[in-house]
Structure 1
């Protein structure tokens, strides 16, 4: 049976290296790094790629008890034992039923063995069966950990005085996973994924300076994105984004100990992770976080309506069977994990209940609106990516009439005014099914609206914002589902990517951008700047080809200007 896993808003294939790695776990051969607050030893050494893995490094205190629903805090000092990070660490999850039903169809049609047609796809979603996976088996609230993979050569240079003073080192690639801000982890757990071995292989082929790869966990669902007036009064909105920021600061403070250079940090994320990249670029009233110098937002997903809504808070208290924030902080961790899973497990189609909101402090507006107005960190070099069919599984097959379409818009984008819903349903996405507007029936009409509102227009605006010095690509391997590109970003030796040339093209672009600041593709050809014509590279099954960006600018203008 083909193994599947979620990675972003949905599932992708398991992700491993090109070849089965030969690893060493003899602790006498593995180095120890002194972080000041703790001593951490490498867990393993991959002889194939010559990389050390430092797993589950604590970057914040356990966010439990009184620290629930608050910003992360620095770890307590614990130097009594050397940490190895061998335990399982991922944050509590929640999986909406509509997404669970889509996992099997996504896996089926990501393979060229199964011919894709829109009719077959729509029917398979309607008949979808959930995966029999316990998404919280092994999850715990004490989950604020990160992994560091580093080449041996780069690590050995870390002991020199120049590197410890921050005067040089290997480039650093930091990965933020997706999952609708409701599921996922730094490694893909509870199923395998996000092994960067293929990226290391390309890095070694491109340069001898080495590479550092960092993957991080952040709080999800109610635990990371609880909003409401009570949280505003006695907690912190967007705790999950603040976790990410805290981890990025950890990289700035500590990555030289592993051989990385803090001034050469590239932040990469996919879906909710890609949206997170944009949030950090537009944070602090558009000034940015200032914690990375390059960015690769892949399918950057953000919900354009970002209002604080009290309903999610009161519903969570009900699921937890408590009546106050104080009682929620005092509740047993198993009950909290179960309440989060149950609440998200009842989410209406194409919703995740929780996500980033405007907090008036770190996040003060929508990324697309900020970027459109030029309010973002322009010092950051950008290579943006999206897939050609982002909205594929974001639709409700039970929607048939125009009134139902309007109701679906209203519940998918909470906070829209009635006049906005009417404009979307009658002007921007009217019931015109001749294909001229990008859809041919009610299902694809929803796909087009959702894909543009949440992903494609973010991709469009960040491209517009950096068009004279930035780069962009489209993942064009058929059918181009959301998350399909992750199998090509990473690797799986037990189930290789169906189109190796597409994988090589994407990985080469990522690594050359990380190492050189300029992405390259087939035969070391340099990416074009977007420029006034929106020139991009299309990653096809046969490699990369130059083409022109195809996004509806008129509709993206409306979404960016949405005033709530």
Structure 2
């Protein structure tokens, strides 16, 4: 079965195929958890990791009809039958054509078998061809579900004693997937891509306390991040982010039933998921969500202006062929899914149209600015990570002149003033291609600007905010593309990571941080704190080594001053 990997999303060439659960026991022997509003049975038991998988647990009502474009609502009680979650569940999504063009090059140059050069990479992107795939095959709006993977030992301890008061229970790792707030799912749907088997194996080797892994879906694109005055008047901005918060509250309320401790929750996410982690850390103007005690933001991505295109709302209504929010709520779900996919598919290069915005309530500013100003939940322990070449496919190969570069900046970052654009194009990222500024041509100039604005400076500022007690790493395996590290964070049985030592090093760091609050090398030596010298750990093909963080502080300072 051939797999294609991109943008926090794994796709099987056989769409819709479900892998048979790995189980060492008859399904009638699998445990059932009483959640109050429903009964849910484990779907499988993995004899290798000795872990149960409870799949597709409902954490909110179907966000359809009048609940479309609104905050999530508590599930209705349904105790008429035991749920098993065996069906496919992922949210409607859209894949921009420009991103689809990068699939083949990403797959090619992420393999050590193909030598990487900038020239070859840039040419391959220009020649890229999108995949002929229906990304929404099996998608449905009723998608607010989460999965719980738990070791048998932790689960059985939950049965023997109560852990609801935080007095016991295994550490919990909650995963938020990425994908530009437009695509992706809790598993990498339609087939598993975020397989936590390696994390469980390292957890078992390091401690006998067990591990609970939770992965969640949240609304995407127009359905999760529609903005505008109409939504503010009769809906909720950042509905997808509120889905995440709702799921985190579910963890607080219910994870003890699976053997997890609500006081030992680590929130981890990559790309848009990593940006989400920072948004929850800086929510409520720096008070945070109070729903997790540790965080692992990987390549944390947010648009620094915290704005989306002004005509996104009207465009969506046009694609849906309606004229009002009321009509959009009444529209057929198939039409809504198609409109969302078509609108995002036509997004301008390096944009996704929708994303988190300042709502004045939960989100009051960009995470970089809030962290820079000290407005974040300082009780949260942090292990931050990024890749060495985050901006790789975030450029428009048709941009060849300085005027076109300025136009690209304007459309990539909604809300910038003409003064901002001029400053970026002439002072911070001038047409100087000798490599001294981090770029050698027009393509890499765009890559560097996008990388720093959206990811690297978020990584820099969260590191600065926690530098005396926080930890950081860089994924340094060539070419170090955005999302290349996911194959090393998780396990894909059909396509193993090319460098096993790097995978062991990264998984070991994650697990030891989740279990004990301090990430460790594979020899159990503790990571250094960032400190005043910016000491980080570099994940290389041969394992982890100490190095120094290299981020342009001057440019990051400028990006952090945007938004409000």
State whether TM-score is above 0.5.
yes
Question: Offset of 1:29 from its aligned partner?
Answer: 1.1
Q: Is the 8 A contact 2:5 2:107 kept in 1?
A: no
Q: Hey, what does 1:419 align to over in structure 2?
A: 419
Q: Hey, what does 2:535 align to over in structure 1?
A: 535
Q: Is the 8 A contact 2:487 2:497 kept in 1?
A: yes
* 1:95 matched to 2:115: no
Question: Offset of 1:73 from its aligned partner?
Answer: 0.5
Question: Offset of 1:25 from its aligned partner?
Answer: 6.2
C-alpha separation in 2, matches of 1:81 and 1:370: 46
Structure 1 residues 258-277: aligned runs within 5 Å:
258-277=258-277
Structure 1 residues 2-401: aligned runs within 5 Å:
2-8=2-8, 22-24=22-24, 26-307=26-307, 310-401=310-401
C-alpha separation in 2, matches of 1:192 and 1:259: 24
Q: Is the 8 A contact 1:13 1:487 kept in 2?
A: no
Q: Hey, what does 1:430 align to over in structure 2?
A: 430
Question: Offset of 1:21 from its aligned partner?
Answer: 8.3
Aligned residues: 558
Please list the CA deviations of residues 82-127 of structure 1 after superposition, one character each: whole Å capped at 9, or x if unmatched. 0000000000010000000001100100000000000000000000
C-alpha separation in 1, matches of 2:114 and 2:191: 24
CA shift in 2, pair 1:434/1:2, >3 Å: farther
Please list the CA deviations of residues 437-496 of structure 1 after superposition, one character each: whole Å capped at 9, or x if unmatched. 000000000000000000000000000000000000000000000000000000122221
Q: Helix, strand or coil: the match of 2:87?
A: coil
Q: Is there any run of 5+ residues in structure 1 with no aligned partner, and where?
A: 15-19
CA shift in 2, pair 1:400/1:7, >3 Å: closer
Q: Is the 8 A contact 1:136 1:190 kept in 2?
A: no
C-alpha separation in 2, matches of 1:526 and 1:169: 24
Question: Offset of 1:244 from its aligned partner?
Answer: 0.0
Please list the CA deviations of residues 523-551 of structure 1 after superposition, one character each: whole Å capped at 9, or x if unmatched. 11110000000000000000000000000
CA shift in 2, pair 1:563/1:322, >3 Å: closer
CA shift in 2, pair 1:110/1:308, >3 Å: closer
Q: Helix, strand or coil: the match of 1:508?
A: helix
Q: Is the 8 A contact 1:6 1:188 kept in 2?
A: no
CA shift in 2, pair 1:423/1:205, >3 Å: same
C-alpha separation in 1, matches of 2:415 and 2:139: 32
C-alpha separation in 2, matches of 1:21 and 1:219: 26
CA shift in 2, pair 1:266/1:531, >3 Å: same
C-alpha separation in 1, matches of 2:60 and 2:496: 36
C-alpha separation in 1, matches of 2:466 and 2:320: 45
Q: Is there any run of 5+ residues in structure 2 with no aligned partner, and where?
A: 14-19
Question: Offset of 1:23 from its aligned partner?
Answer: 1.7
C-alpha separation in 2, matches of 1:536 and 1:140: 42
C-alpha separation in 2, matches of 1:525 and 1:224: 42
Question: Offset of 1:129 from its aligned partner?
Answer: 1.1
- Larger CA deviation: 288-297 vs 24-33: 24-33
Please list the CA deviations of residues 176-205 of structure 1 after superposition, one character each: whole Å capped at 9, or x if unmatched. 000000000000002430010110001001
C-alpha separation in 1, matches of 2:478 and 2:32: 45
Q: Is the 8 A contact 2:282 2:377 kept in 1?
A: yes
Structure 1 residues 534-553: aligned runs within 5 Å:
534-553=534-553
Question: Offset of 1:164 from its aligned partner?
Answer: 4.0
Q: Helix, strand or coil: the match of 1:341?
A: helix
C-alpha separation in 1, matches of 2:308 and 2:493: 44
- Larger CA deviation: 328-337 vs 305-314: 305-314
Q: Helix, strand or coil: the match of 2:279?
A: helix
Structure 1 residues 475-514: aligned runs within 5 Å:
475-514=475-514
C-alpha separation in 2, matches of 1:21 and 1:142: 23
C-alpha separation in 2, matches of 1:278 and 1:13: 31
C-alpha separation in 1, matches of 2:149 and 2:210: 11
C-alpha separation in 2, matches of 1:301 and 1:12: 22
- TM-score, normalising length from structure 1? 0.97
Q: Is the 8 A contact 2:52 2:152 kept in 1?
A: yes
C-alpha separation in 2, matches of 1:557 and 1:308: 22
Q: Hey, what does 2:16 align to over in structure 1?
A: none
Structure 1 residues 423-462: aligned runs within 5 Å:
423-462=423-462
C-alpha separation in 2, matches of 1:514 and 1:307: 33
Question: Offset of 1:563 from its aligned partner?
Answer: 4.6
CA shift in 2, pair 1:409/1:561, >3 Å: same
Q: Is the 8 A contact 2:286 2:375 kept in 1?
A: yes
Q: Hey, what does 2:17 align to over in structure 1?
A: none
Q: Hey, what does 1:523 align to over in structure 2?
A: 523
Q: Helix, strand or coil: the match of 1:430?
A: coil
C-alpha separation in 1, matches of 2:11 and 2:562: 32
C-alpha separation in 2, matches of 1:25 and 1:145: 25
CA shift in 2, pair 1:45/1:380, >3 Å: same
CA shift in 2, pair 1:21/1:38, >3 Å: closer
- TM-score, normalising length from structure 2? 0.97
Question: Offset of 1:510 from its aligned partner?
Answer: 0.1
Q: Hey, what does 1:17 align to over in structure 2?
A: none
Q: Is the 8 A contact 2:44 2:52 kept in 1?
A: yes
